[in-house]
A = this chain, B = another copy of it.
Amino acid sequence: MLNRLNSLYRYFGSAAAATMSPKKVTIIGSGNWGSAIARIVGNTTKSFPDQFDPQVRMYVYEEIVNGEKLSEVINTRHENIKYLPGKILPENVVAVTDLVKSCEGSNILIFVVPHQFVKGLCEKLVGKIPADTQAISLIKGISFDKNEQGVSTGGIERGGLKLISEEIKEILKIEVSVLMGANLAPEVANDNFCEATIGCKRKAEDGPLLKKLFHTDNFRINVVEDAHTVELCGALKNVVACAAGFTDGLGYGDNTKAAVIRLGLMETTKFVEHYYPGSNLETFFESCGIADLITTCYGGRNRKVCEAFVKTGKTLAEVEKELLNGQSAQGPLTAEEVYLMMKKTGLDAKFPLFTAVHKICAGEMKPAELVDCLRNHPEHM
């Protein structure tokens, strides 16, 4: 009896403590998207002092910009002059250049770095964060190991594919949610009205707090449980956007572009269903699904680069350099990774659009052949 009381006490005691103590939040990353998110999270944490510690630490990879340290500029003038010039960050967002220090005692880690840095950063954090810390990834891409056969949960061979959330979870052993949506960073930074989707497997427990952390008047959050679908939508839309860019470059007009976007969405649904079975069709109607796809296929940089690739005849690397001001286009890389894993698992023929995007990017197929690959699409059978 005493044991039971003790355990009840421990249970409610710790639950109460968890409710009482405001969560510390760290943003890992300080690029364009990370800085735009810092403007939101800096404000929401101030608005809910019961829930959140108002100081938000932001891990900044130190750089010298016009002779000044970026972290110092952020901490004195509250502006990321390199990646989000002209926008003021809330004063409670504090730049920290030491990764481990930036995460010390943190309850919520927001990952928003280029995906090739995830592994290295996570490895540095092993054993340095509280056991009940949770993460949320805003990274759009997939992790892929050419030499691995990949995660095989429930007997599904994934040919080397791994989600960024799975990679973080594997290294840090913590819960990882994702946030994706139709969110071109400059427009979010401009406070234009938009929506985003949080994919959170423990929706009932973690969903409300995460929603509070990101939801504002102009950044409207829906939370769904179907986190894998949310994350894969975020990665695969860049492949579809390449195809949309090719049709733009070829001057095919709105009907063809809409057909290409639709077939890309259908391949996305089939891809998710095959490699991560149990997805919910409704998730594709969320901001992470069709809305992000539309934005990316009209306003995103993958579209832009692929249009120029067709029009100029230059290499992808050349147009990227000319157009993206040092940023990279994720689409061709994701297309290659997806292609390799489909090849390994023998499914490339079932995804003619994804396959064509990779082959065009790799110079194995002419852009003008795209539509020929789609004419007998499985969707038309």
B285 touches A192 (CB 8 A): no
Given A290-B265, A291-B261, A295-B254, is A380 in contact with B190 using a C-beta cutoff of 8 Å? no
Contact partner, A375, options B193, B256, B282, B375, Cβ 8 Å: B193
**CB pair A255 B295 closer than 8 Å:** yes
Q: Are B375 and A259 in contact (CB under 8 A)?
A: no
Interface size on A, residues (CB 8 A): 46
Known A-B contacts A291-B259, A379-B222; A192 and B253 likewise in contact (beta carbons under 8 Å): yes
Measured CA separation A266–B281 after assembly (Å)? 13
A184 touches B291 (CB 8 A): no
Contact (Cβ within 8 A) A287 B299: no
Q: Kindly identify which residue among B187, B194, B258, B292 contacts A291, using a CB–CB cutoff of 8 Å.
A: B258
Residue contact B255 to A183, C-beta cutoff 8 Å: yes
Q: Assess the B285–A282 pair: CB atoms within 8 A.
A: no
The distance from the CB of A293 to the nearest CB of chain B, in whole angstroms, is 8
Q: Which residues of B contact A258 (CB under 8 A)?
A: 182, 194, 287, 291-292, 294-295
Residue of B nearest to A281 (CB): B281
Q: Hey, which chain B residues are within 8 Å of A220, CB to CB?
A: 259, 375, 377, 380
For the complex, what is the distance from the CA of A195 to the CA of B281, rounded to whole Å?
Answer: 21
Enumerate chain B residues within 8 angstroms of A286, measured Cβ to Cβ.
Answer: 262
**Are A190 and B291 within 8 A (Cβ)?**
no
Could you tell me which residues of chain A, from 232 to 264, have a CB within 8 Å of some CB in chain B?
252-259, 261-262
In the complex where A193-B375, A253-B190, A290-B290 touch, is A182 in contact with B259 (Cβ < 8 A)? Answer: yes
A-B contact pairs, 25 of them (CB 8 A): A182-B258, A184-B254, A187-B255, A192-B255, A193-B256, A193-B371, A193-B374, A195-B380, A220-B259, A222-B379, A253-B299, A254-B294, A254-B299, A255-B295, A257-B295, A258-B291, A258-B292, A258-B295, A259-B291, A261-B290, A261-B291, A265-B290, A266-B285, A269-B285, A294-B294
